[in-house]
């Protein structure tokens, strides 16, 4: 007999996910906890705000901790900067009880999450950029600056989380 069907479903989802799918799931979790923190701030529920922000921060730490700078290159460095920024903004929003700061952070996470989702769902024979035309790095840059990076800023680096389009067997391991 199942005790918690939702937990069982999540467990099977994680076990069957691709590396990019796991990244998308982590982004979904971070966004969900940030949204719950916004609701808690608006309800003046400080304990729930702290609980949800702590969970979002734990996910951000997991994303940051799994970056592979050797394989990910500039993308990994850009994502590291994004995660540092996200942590800083979440903590500042906590201190200032600012749902607006969290909403802005949620928008940035949603933008980068969408790029990861597109990368996961593009056909394997397609070019190395997501169907939306931008990489996760470009989505992050656009979320930060309101525009795509200039052509002199290369953005087609491989994912720091997943194998390149033609990986060697066993070469896709995430750092840990």
Domain ranges (residues) in the chain:
18-145
What sign results for the dihedral spanned by CA atoms 50, 51, 52, 54?
A: positive
Which residue in the block uniquely carries the two structure tokens 């951000």?
60
Which residue in the block uniquely carries the two structure tokens 């840059």?
141
Specify the pTM. Answer: 0.67
Q: Which of 151, 145, 147, 117 is nearest to 132 (CA)?
A: 117
Which residues of the chain fall short of a pLDDT of 70? Answer: 1-2, 5-17, 124-176
CA angle 5, 54, 118 (to 5 degrees): 65
The hierarchical CATH code for the domain 18-145 is 1.20.120.340
| Angstrom distance (rounded) from CA 176 to CA 163 | 15
Neighbours of 138 (CB within 10 A): 24
Q: What is the pLDDT of residues 120-146, one digit of tens each?
A: 888 764 444 443 345 555 555 555 555
Which residue in the block uniquely carries the two structure tokens 């989380």?
161
* Res 165: pLDDT: 37
């Amino acid at each position: 007999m199942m005790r918690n069907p939702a937990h069982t479903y999540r467990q099977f989802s994680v076990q069957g996910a691709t590396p990019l799918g796991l990244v998308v799931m982590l982004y979904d979790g971070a966004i969900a906890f940030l949204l719950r923190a916004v609701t808690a701030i608006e309800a003046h529920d400080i304990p729930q705000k702290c609980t949800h922000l702590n969970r979002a921060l734990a996910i951000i730490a997991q994303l940051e901790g799994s970056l592979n700078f050797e394989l990910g290159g500039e993308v990994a460095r850009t994502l590291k900067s994004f995660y540092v920024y996200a942590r800083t903004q979440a903590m500042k929003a906590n201190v200032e009880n600012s749902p607006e700061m969290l909403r802005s952070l949620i928008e940035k996470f949603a933008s980068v999450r969408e790029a990861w989702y597109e990368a996961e769902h593009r056909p394997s024979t397609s070019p190395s950029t997501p169907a939306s035309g931008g990489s996760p790095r470009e989505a992050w840059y656009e979320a930060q600056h309101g525009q795509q990076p200039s052509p002199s800023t290369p953005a087609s680096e491989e994912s720091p989380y997943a194998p390149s389009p033609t990986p060697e067997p066993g070469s896709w391991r995430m750092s840990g």
